[in-house]
Amino acid sequence: MKRNIINFLPLVIFLALVVSFATLLLRSEKIEMISKPIPTLTLDGLKTEDIKGPALINFFASWCTPCRAEHEVLMELSEKHNLPIYGIAYKDKKRDTDRYLKELGNPYKKIGRDEKGRAFIDWGLSGVPETFLIDSDNMIRYHHAGVLLEENMNATIMPLIQTLQSEGNK
């Protein structure tokens, strides 16, 4: 019997996985949505015309543990910095979202329900939580994937928010 190309397939796939994993670990760029207007939203509870920047748009879910971790940061932001936060609950049942917000507090000005995950795709998300900062023209100015930590806030987001808020006042 001759060697069969198919038998090499597992090896090739495995090596491809290793190589892509290794390169991904070394590379850290990503196609961004920065400086683009926000995609249209037609969600139950939140439509494009409801949104008025400067504001944060935060994708979250009650089943998502990292979201819990950033919740306090969001609470503080909405209480102390007078910045509207629009929440989009990704693939979450209303009952669960309500309970989640009842337990941890509600930092959101309005909440859109993205049960089908449509907005998730339109906004080019890769998971929850993700957060967008938009300016007074509803243009995306900053995109953060993953948990908002205190240090991210202090280092990049807060200065940006202050710039945007002063721009908006002009």
Letter for the amino acid at 54? P
Binder of other proteins out of 24, 82, 151, 169 (CB under 8 A) = 24
DSSP state of 145: E
| 134: its two tokens | 């938009």
Nearer to other proteins, 13 or 166 (CB): 13
Question: Shortest distance, CB of residue 12 to other proteins, whole angstroms?
Answer: 8
Question: Shortest distance, CB of residue 161 to other proteins, whole angstroms?
Answer: 19
Is residue 1 a contact point for other proteins (CB under 8 A)?
Answer: yes
User: Per CB under 8 A, which region of 21-29, 37-45, 46-54, 72-80 contacts other proteins?
Assistant: 21-29
Q: Are strands 130-134 and 140-145 parallel, antiparallel or unpaired?
A: antiparallel
Locus of tokens 């196609």: 31
Binder of other proteins out of 41, 51, 64, 77 (CB under 8 A) = 64
Measure the CA–CA gap between 161 and 165, rounded to whole angstroms. Answer: 6
Is residue 63 a contact point for other proteins (CB under 8 A)?
Answer: yes
Q: Does an H or E element contain 71, and which?
A: helix 65-80
Contacts of 125 (CB under 8 A, 6+ apart): 59, 90, 145
What residues make contact with other proteins under the rule CB under 8 A?
Answer: 1-4, 7-8, 10-11, 14-15, 18, 21-22, 24-25, 27-28, 30, 61, 63-66, 91, 99, 103, 117, 126-130, 144-147
